[in-house]
Amino acid sequence: GQSLEQPSEVTAVEGAIVQINCTYQTSGFYGLSWYQQHDGGAPTFLSYNALDGLEETGRFSSFLSRSDSYGYLLLQELQMKDSASYFCAVRAGNQGGKLIFGQGTELSVKP
Amino acid sequence: DTEVTQTPKHLVMGMTNKKSLKCEQHMGHRAMYWYKQKAKKPPELMFVYSYEKLSINESVPSRFSPECPNSSLLNLHLHALQPEDSALYLCASSRAGESYEQYFGPGTRLTVT
């Protein structure tokens, strides 16, 4: 089976750095994706890691360790607009078209 | 154009009604998806179309009937729904074989009365 675990809530202040962790158990792993979803909005693709290491895109970075079945999303210089839900997701091993989402982490950024 | 459009934005229907949700993309993507999302939950996959053919049906009740008329369009036909089917219905698309990077539409907020 497939399962992903991430914290349900994280709170941080503007300007700070926050890390959202994701651990996964899958049969057949291809890579880890991250999506952002604002309240009332649609999920938006943020990043994808297929190989170990850190991928940086502006204020957001994503890290993967395949040996530890672990990844994280790092958000720097937090802004109020970063308040949203963040989902990690993996492709199902035997059903390549299927993306399995974690339960989501609700990030609240305070002034 | 990196936009996926969905109509209608909101839909209220009775349990005996028949309605359809529509989704369109012009990114040349050959994989399209329907998801159901309840409040404070992740998107839950319903159907996957790959090259206009249904490739995954996640044991969705037959009162939901998907259709992919061409590579840009995806429909979801609804009939005899239950109140528990009230949710946000999201359409997404991706390059074929690249389900890790999906582009989502804004969704249809469905209420079944």
Give pLDDT tens digits for B53-66: 999 999 999 999 99
- Nearest-CA distance B99 → chain A (Å): 5
- Nearest-CA distance A97 → chain B (Å): 5
Q: Token pair of B5, please?
A: 């459009």
Of A30, A31, A101, the CB nearest to B43: A101
Examine residue B8 and say whether the peptide bond preceding it is cis (omega within 30 degrees of 0).
Answer: yes
pLDDT tens readout for residues A46-76: 999 999 999 998 999 999 999 999 999 999 9
Cα–Cα distance measured from residue A8 to residue A21, given in angstroms and rounded to the nearest whole number? 10
Cα–Cα distance measured from residue A54 to residue A31, given in angstroms and rounded to the nearest whole number? 13
pLDDT at res. B33: 97
Of A99, A102, A106, the CB nearest to B99: A99
pLDDT score of B77 more than 80: yes
Examine residue B43 and say whether the peptide bond preceding it is cis (omega within 30 degrees of 0).
Answer: no
Answer whether A2's CB lies under 8 Å from B42's CB. Answer: no
Q: What are phi and psi of A29, to 5 degrees?
A: -110, 130
